[in-house]
Each structure stands twice: as structure tokens, then as C-alpha cells.
Amino acid sequence: MTERNDKVGIWERWLSAFVSLDRRWIFLIVASVVVFFLIVPVSMPVTVSEQVRAMYETIEALPAGARVHLSIDYGPGSEAELWPQHIAILRQLLEKDCKVICSSLWTDGPPMIEKAFTVVVGQLEKEGKKKVRGVDYVNLGFKAGDRVAITKIGSSFKETFPTDYQGNPTSALPIMQGWDTYRDIDLLITIAVGDPGAVEYIQQAQSRYNIPMVAGVTAVISPQLYPYYQSRNLRGFLGGLAGAAEYEKLVGRPGYATRGMFIQSAVHLLIVGLVLAGNVAQFALWSMRRKRGERL
Amino acid sequence: MTGTYDPFVETLGVWLVCFFTLAVFSFLYRDNPIYKAVEHIYVGVAAGYYFYQAFRGTIYPNFVLHVMRGTRAIVQGQAEGWTVHDGWLAQWRWGAAVLGILLLSRLVPRLSWLSRWPMALVVGAFAGLNLTGFAKANFIDQIAGTMLPLAAGGSAQALPFWPGATAAAPSIFNHFVLVVGVVTVLTYFFFSTPRTGMLGKMGTVGIWFVMMTFGATYGSIVLARISLLIGRATTLLDANLPKYGYPAYWCALLVLLAIVVWRLKFCKDEQQP
Amino acid sequence: MRNKIPVFISAFVGIFMILKYFSTYPAIKRVADELEQWGVITLSFSIVLGVLNLIKINLKAVVERKKDWGYKLLLLVSMFTMMIAGGVKWYLEEVRGRQVNQGLPLAVHDSLFDFMFDHVYFPLSATIFALLAFYVASAAFRAFRAKNLHATLLLIAAVIVMIGRVPVGGAIWKGFPWLQEWIMTWPNTAGQRAIQIGAAIGMIATGLRVILGIEKPYLKG
């Protein structure tokens, strides 16, 4: 052992220590970069992707009074990514005087719906646009059942949701009068974190009833949605905080997502740097060991 | 935080948010009693919350209210637009409650075989729905989406690198990439024949596509996770205001002190992980 | 009987789900609708089952003073507090709400339930997921190696997506956002689509096996 150690040069020892660096140092570096760029904000121009623009244009094309089912299938665990999307989309819908019917397949969803209504309806009220619960928008609350619930919603909203989140009978609400199924819906939107979410809505609602659909999802889910966008099951979609920042640019209200984009950029550069540093150090180490005749 | 609370309650809430956030982050140092405590609080609160939503969101409106309305129709001759006949039909819903209660038999090992009935209902429903849902959206629609033209008259659409062409714009080259990608990856997943000759070569190209797909997914996962961290950091910064008494600083100090005390007092001889 | 009835139930329900997809016949729709309601209610009971199981396991550990029983007691206290807070919210919205709101329920946003959701459940849930950011960074440094062609392709695609998806990518080189969008729209779509077609074939086969009673996952466990 001692003989072997004598042959090992200082560089090799350094590199060896570097590649097996305690992960807590990396944690500290990541945390420092996030905190630094949060305190020192820098703004950068955001480039809008095609599917984000397509989603914006689909919602913009809705006539006043259009019925939109907005399914909020996320909770606090992914709030950082999906809340900015939720707010931007809800505000656009209410500004266009669409009738917004919200529900959730996730237990965490109903309070997120309530929060978003409180924020957006409050903002619009300050600007002189009054929106009334039960007339312009409704929170139908949570429904268990995953894809079974989606199919049930498709054939009857009122049977699936006999009451709204507060307990009002849905059949008595003005917003629910004169329609009941997905065939009466002008646009289906889901803001979703996983299963059940966008894919399940495409399978059980969009492709079944052939209704227009768009989605806002986390960045983890977004690669899965590209095939559905290409096959026109989806008219457009947003992926994660980056998608939300692009949407904020389109609606002309830069907010939380735009603010987060530079920090995101900085951490991404750091991670790419870490990947490169890890690879360079590992290959240098392997090459040194190979030169000494050590088998890897 | 958008609730409308009294100033004192709001301040208390902000302090709790800071404390719980930093207590969870303390796990990054190593597993410790503060993290364990808040982890158990999380599971407890989540379970209580789920119970509330399951009952108030589904069991109460879809079973209790439905059956009560049916019973009222039977007793009164007519209720809320339902006739006696509708009232009797509504009583079918008891079947769902019976199955639901049978599901709870899993808690009693001797009776747990009864839970197979409700499980069979759920499995059967999922099987039927997945069969049609996947067949349409994931099979037919995806194959139809891959039926793309591989020849065109206009040379401007031949290549994706044409000046001004957007990355997502359809072109002969891009269509070719998509069609070749789908066919070769499907070949790669085709396990019932040995991958030799042409099939082997197609499988090799297929795995390149799979690797690029997984790379794109990994990149997206990084994007997602970092966004969540930015979210928590923003919350701490926004909460750390003089009007609340700088809760993030104080809670950080509290968590740090607790960990130092715990390390010095209770795990002197323990090795680092 | 223990094994035959579940096979019959699953076949009956599965067939009605398929029939409803293809048929507009009112009787089929009516039966399928009711079965869907049963599915929705049964699945909500599965949440209740999970909660009762949690109570059973943790209560036993507390009563028998097993290892870490203090934490388990904390879990039970938080759970019951949240349940009681939920009951109070229900009362405030549907019982007291009706008294003050002309017979209609009232939206309440400042109950103990809302407070606990906003200030206990919310930060804990969000931060536990945020922890993963650190582990993703650490894994990128320690495990992401370009050992061969396949790993190199994966690494290149990941780096382009990471850089091209954020504004700094465009600032470094305009080609990064373009390349990122191209990878996502074409090679990624191809790979994902093939995976989805494969999954669809698997799902169709599994669905048929369950409905025909060849596969009986509900008999396990």
C-alpha cells in the first residue's frame, strides 16, 4: 500500500480528492449561487418557443363567453413551476370574459384553485373588472378516481360534481346552466404535475370527445408532450418555469417566472460546469492511472 | 400565501413557513432529529388533509348527498326534480359504499380477501379505459402523426437550416429524422427476434435516438428541480422582512443551534456519513 | 367464490367501459356512468384506507413505546389536528355559512385548516421536493460520465437542453435555443413517440388479459 502511494503524484491525489468531493460542498455552491443571484437580480430576454406561442394563440382565439374546463392537477410540491403558469392563464381567460370551470384530480388542487381565484379576481377587481363566483368562474373541487373520474366528467359535469368546493349544488349555479358534457366545452386546459394529468386527459377526454386541448406541465413532463403536440392532440403547451416565463412575455406581464429565469440560467451554467469538471477530472485521473499500468 | 389573516396570525404563519423550510433543508447536512420531526409532521398533516378531501370532495357529495336526495324523493313523492323512480335508482349507489367499506377489510388480515372485490372493480375500470384511451391517443393518433411527407417541391422546406427557418418548422429533413427515429426505436424495442443484420443496424440507430431522448429528459429534470429550489429561496427572501422580524435569519440560527447541540451532545462518537 | 367473483366484477366493469366508448345506447351509458361513480367512490375509500392504516401502525408503535415513538406521536397529533380543522372548516362554510349567506354555503379562507395548509403542509411539501435540486447537481458532478458513445450522446443532448432552455443560452450563442428546440421537437418526439406506441401495445394487451381473466392483479397481496 505504501509503495503504491509513493508512486502517486500530487496531481493524482488532488484529482482523486476532487472527483470524490463530499457532496455537501456541491450543495453549498448551489445554494450560494441561488442566494447570490436572488439578491442581485439580472434580467435577460426570453425567447418564445413555438408550442408556447401556439397555446397563447389558442386561448386568444376564444370568443367572449367561451366555456373552459381548467383542471388544476398540482399542489405545493410543484407550485414553483406551475403557479406562474396558472396565474397567467387564469388571468388571460378571465380578461377575455371566458367562463372558467375549475376542478382537480389531485387532493392538493382545490386550495391552489382558491388561491389563484383570490389573486386574479382581486387584481381584476382593482382594475374595475368584477368577476362573480358561480357566474364567471367556479371551483368544483377535488374528485378521486384518476382516469375513471375524467371519463365521468366527460359524460356529465353535474353528476360528477353534485356540489362545488363550498357545497353549493352545481345544478343551481348560473355558470353551469344549459350544458353538461365535454361536447359543450370550448377548450380543455390542464395544469398538471404527473399522473393523472395531461397524458390522461388526452387519452380519456381530448381523443375521446375530440375537443381542443392545451396544457401547462412541469419541465419533467414536457418532453412526453411533444409527440401529442406534433399529432395535434394538443394545440400547445407550457413546460415548467421556462414555459411560464415565455407565457408571461406573451401576455405582457413579466412576473415571478421571468424573475426566476436568470437564477435558473446561473444554476444551469453551474451544473454544466460541474458535469464538465467532473468528466475532465475523471478522464485525467484514468489516464494517469493507465500510464502507471494500473488496470481500471 | 394569499390567505387573509390577522396581522399576528400572518406573522406566526410566516415564521412557521421559514422554520419548516429551513428544517427540511437541514437534511442536506445529514439526517437529524429536527428533520425527522418535521418529516413526521408533514406525513401527519398530509394524511389528515387527504382524508378531508376524500370525504368532503367525493364520498359526501357523490354518495351521501346522492342517496339522501333519492331517499327524500321516495319519502316525499318528489324532491329537487327527482321522481320516486329516480329515488329508487339512486339507492344503487349503496353498492359503491359497500365496496368502499369492503376495501377497508384489508386492515383485518382474516377478512382481507373481501378487498379483492373493490380492487377488481378498479382494475377492471382501469383496464377498459386504458385499452381504449391508449389505443386511440397513443397508438392510432401517434401513427397518424408519423405519416409525414418525405418529399416536397419547394427547396426552401427541404432543410431545417434554411436561413430564418425555425427549429420546430416542418421540413423534409425534420420529417425524415422523425420517421427514422420512430421506426428505429421501435425496432430497438422489438425483443422477439435477434438483432442481427439490418435489424441490428436499425436498433443501433434506435438507441442513439433513445439516448438523445433520455438526455433531453435529464436536461428537463434539472430545469424542474432547480425551479423548485428557486421557489423556496424566493419564499424565504420574500418572508424575511423587517415587519416580521427577519424570521429566516432567526430560524436558520435556531436550526443550526439545534443541530450543533445534537451533534455535540448525542453523537460524539459517530462517524461522518 | 373468493377468486371467481372478482374475475367476474373486473370483466363486467371493463366490458362496460369499452362499450360506453363505442356505443350511445342509453342503457349502456347509464350502467357505465353508475359504474364510474362506483369507481370514483371506491378510489376515494382507498385514501381513507391509507389514512386508517397509518393510524393503525403508528398508534401501535406509540402504545408499545417502540423506537422513535415520539415522532409517531407527533405524526398522529398533526393528523388529528388537521382532520379536526377540516371538520371546523366544513362547519364554517356549510352550516354557519348558510346562516349568514341567505341559505347558501360561504367560502372561508382564514380557518385553521387553511392556515395549516398554507403554513405547515405547503412549505414542507414544497421544500421536500426542492431538496432534489441539490441531489441532481451532485449527481451531475459525480456520476454523469461520457464513458462511451451512448453516454456521450445523452450528455450532449442534456447539456444543450440545459443551456438552450434558459435565456443565458441565447446570450452565449444564438444557436443554443435553436438546437434545444430542434432536439426537443424532432429526435425527442421520435424517441418519446416510439416509447408511447410500445406502451400502448402493452396496455392494450394487459387490458385484454385483465378483462378476459387471464391476469388477476387484484388477487395478489
Structure confidence by residue, pLDDT tens digits, B180-199: 999 999 999 877 777 788 88
Compare CB distances from B137 to A50, A222, A233 and report the shortest one's residue: A233
Residues A187, A244: one domain?
Answer: yes
Contact A143 C47 (CB under 8 A): no
Per-residue confidence band for C2, with pLDDT thresholds at 50, 70 and 90: confident
Full strand arrangement of the beta sheet holding A213-217: A137-142, A99-104, A67-73, A187-192, A213-217, A237-239
Predicted pLDDT of residue C73? 97
Return the higher-pLDDT residue of B268 and B52. B52
Residues A151, A192: one domain?
Answer: yes
- Residue A136 phi/psi, 5-degree rounding, is -100, -25
Domain interval for residue A136: 50-254
Looking at CA atoms only, how far is residue A85 from chain C in angstroms? 17
With CA atoms as reference, report the closest residue to A153 among A186, A104, A197.
A104
Contact A107 C47 (CB under 8 A): yes
Cβ within 8 Å of B, C 58-77: 68, 71-72, 74-77
8 Å CB contact between B128 and C13: yes
Please give the interface size between B and C, counted as residue pairs whose CB atoms are below 8 Å apart. 425
With CA atoms as reference, report the closest residue to B119 among A250, C210, C164.
C210
Residues A113, A183: one domain?
Answer: yes
Handedness of CA A202, A206, A207, A209 (dihedral sign): positive
Helix (H) and strand (E) counts in chain C = 10, 0
Looking at CA atoms only, how far is residue A273 from chain C in angstroms? 9
Q: Chain C residues with CB inside 8 Å of A23's CB?
A: 134-135, 138, 142
pLDDT at B54 over 70: yes
- Is there a domain that residue A156 lies in? yes
Tens-digit pLDDT profile for residues A67-115: 999 999 999 999 999 999 999 999 999 999 999 999 999 999 999 999 9
ipTM score assigned to the predicted complex: 0.93
Here the cell at position A292 is 502507471
Per-residue confidence band for A1, with pLDDT thresholds at 50, 70 and 90: very low
Question: In the predicted model, what is the mean pLDDT of residues B17-43?
Answer: 96
* Average pLDDT value over all residues in chain C: 93
- Give dist(CA C176, CA B162) in Å, integer: 16
Residues A139, A265: one domain?
Answer: no
CATH of the domain at A137: 3.40.50.10160
Residues A156, A246: one domain?
Answer: yes
Tens-digit pLDDT profile for residues C121-163: 999 999 999 999 999 999 989 888 888 999 999 999 999 999 9
- Please give the C-alpha separations between residue B186 and each of A51, A64, B145, C194, in angstroms, as whole numbers: 26, 45, 15, 6
Residues A248, A266: one domain?
Answer: no
- Is there a domain that residue A109 lies in? yes
Residues A147, A281: one domain?
Answer: no
Contact B3 C114 (CB under 8 A): yes
8 Å CB contact between A229 and A49: no
- pTM listed for this prediction: 0.94
- Give dist(CA A82, CA A70) in Å, integer: 13
Give the DSSP letter string of B123-192. Answer: HHHHHHHHHHHIIIIIIIHHHHHH---S--S-GGGT-TTSTT--TTS--HHHHHHHHHHHHHHHHHT--S
- Least confident stretch, A16-25, A205-214, B222-231, C202-211: A16-25
Contact B127 C166 (CB under 8 A): no
Q: What is the CA radius of gyration of chain C?
A: 26
Contact B104 C48 (CB under 8 A): yes
Residues A191, A275: one domain?
Answer: no
CB atoms within 10 A of CB A193: 24
Contact C7 B120 (CB under 8 A): yes
Residues A85, A118: one domain?
Answer: yes
Q: How many domains does chain A have?
A: 2
Tens-digit pLDDT profile for residues B247-260: 999 999 999 999 99
DSSP letter (8 states) at residue C60 = H
Question: Hey, where are the domains in chain C?
Answer: 1-66, 67-143
Give the DSSP letter string of A43-74. Answer: --PPPPPHHHHHHHHHHHTPPTT-EEEEEEE-
Contact A278 C29 (CB under 8 A): no
- Is there a domain that residue A2 lies in? no
pLDDT at B273 over 50: no
Q: Chain A residues with CB inside 8 Å of C121's CB?
A: 76
Here the cell at position A88 is 397567467
Compare CB distances from B58 to C44, C177, C189 and report the shortest one's residue: C44
Return the higher-pLDDT residue of A271 and B273. A271
Residues A279, A154: one domain?
Answer: no
If you search the block for the grid coordinates 421557489, which residue do you land on?
A: B231
- Least confident stretch, A5-14, A189-198, A253-262: A5-14
Cα dihedral: C183, C186, C190, C193 (round 10):
100
Strand partners, A69: A101, A188
Per-residue confidence band for C60, with pLDDT thresholds at 50, 70 and 90: very high
Task: Write the CB contacts of C36 (distance below 8 Å, at least 6 apart in sequence).
Answer: A145, A148, A149, A151, A152, A155, B125, C17
Residues A216, A188: one domain?
Answer: yes
Handedness of CA C118, B65, A71, C189 (dihedral sign): positive
Tens-digit pLDDT profile for residues A185-203: 999 999 999 999 999 999 9
In this complex, is the C-beta atom of B53 within 8 Å of any C-beta atom belonging to chain A?
Answer: yes
pLDDT at C106 over 80: yes
Question: In the predicted model, what is the mean pLDDT of residues B145-163?
Answer: 69
Residues A96, A27: one domain?
Answer: no
pLDDT at C77 over 50: yes
SS3 A137: strand
- Is there a domain that residue A264 lies in? yes
Per-residue confidence band for A44, with pLDDT thresholds at 50, 70 and 90: confident
Identity of residue C207: G
Per-residue confidence band for C221, with pLDDT thresholds at 50, 70 and 90: low
- Is there a domain that residue A244 lies in? yes
- Is there a domain that residue A263 lies in? yes
With CA atoms as reference, report the closest residue to B27 among A24, C141, C65.
A24
